[in-house]
Amino acid sequence: MSAIKEILASKRKPKEIVELLARALSNDRNLSSELIQCFDHGTTAEKGNCMEAIEFVTKEHPEFSKDCLDFVVAHLNDKAPRVKWEASRIIANVAQKFPDTVQFAIPKLLENTQDKGTVVRWSAAFALTEIAKSNKAAQIKLIPEFRKILEREDNNGVRKIYLKHLE
């Protein structure tokens, strides 16, 4: 059994699984392709754990995403809320390192600003504002979108992210 499959199949708590996956990915970057394969065939919980492990690694090592950024962007609008919000957080983590590449995530992130889940909307706001901070051309396009979002957003936590960026 492969390293990633072994971790996912273990009877550990989800937080431990994510930490083990992240440690394995940090130690062997070639495991990212194996993680993607496991994601494709995994349960909803396993998919969430896989995406969170990538998020965990990219927080400290944004360059890790270089080989899996297309995969992350492809899953921004996944049907599982946890996958959506973890993918958004990955985009936020790597926006400064790859300001031009993450632009391709903007349409999907804007779609997530209308999601019924608060955490999905919060994560989309975080990613969009990080993209705007790191890419002036994107910022020019996003500022009017932020104002529109603020008109319809009811959650103060989500609103604060946009308002802080607009200050």
- Residue 13, CA atoms < 13 Å, CB-side half-sphere: 2
| pLDDT over 70 at 9, yes or no | yes
Report the distance separating Cα 21 and Cα 135, nearest Å.
31
Other Cβ atoms within 10 Å of 27 Cβ, number: 9
CB atoms within 10 A of CB 140: 10
- What pLDDT digit, counting tens, does each position of 100-143 carry? 999 999 999 999 999 999 999 999 999 999 999 999 999 999 99
- Quick: pLDDT tens for 60-90: 999 988 888 999 999 999 999 999 999 999 9
The pLDDT of residue 112 is: 98
Selected residue with higher pLDDT from 144 and 167? 144
Mean pLDDT of the chain: 94
pLDDT of residue 157: 97
Tokens describing residue 143: 């500022």
Residue 5's Cβ-count burial label (10 Å; 0-12, 13-18, 19+) is middle
Domain range for residue 76?
Answer: 3-166
Question: What pLDDT score does 1 carry?
Answer: 53
Number of domains in the chain: 1
Dihedral pair phi/psi, residue 124, rounded to 5°: -65, -40
What integer pLDDT is reported at residue 30 of this predicted model? 84
User: 142 CB contacts (<8 Å, ≥6 apart)?
Assistant: 106, 128, 131, 132
How many CB atoms neighbour CB 49 within 10 A? 26
Neighbours of 141 (CB within 10 A): 13
CATH number of the CATH domain containing 125: 1.25.10.10
Q: Answer whether 139's CB lies under 8 Å from 99's CB.
A: no
Asked if residues 121 and 150 have their Cβ atoms less than 8 Å apart, the reply is no
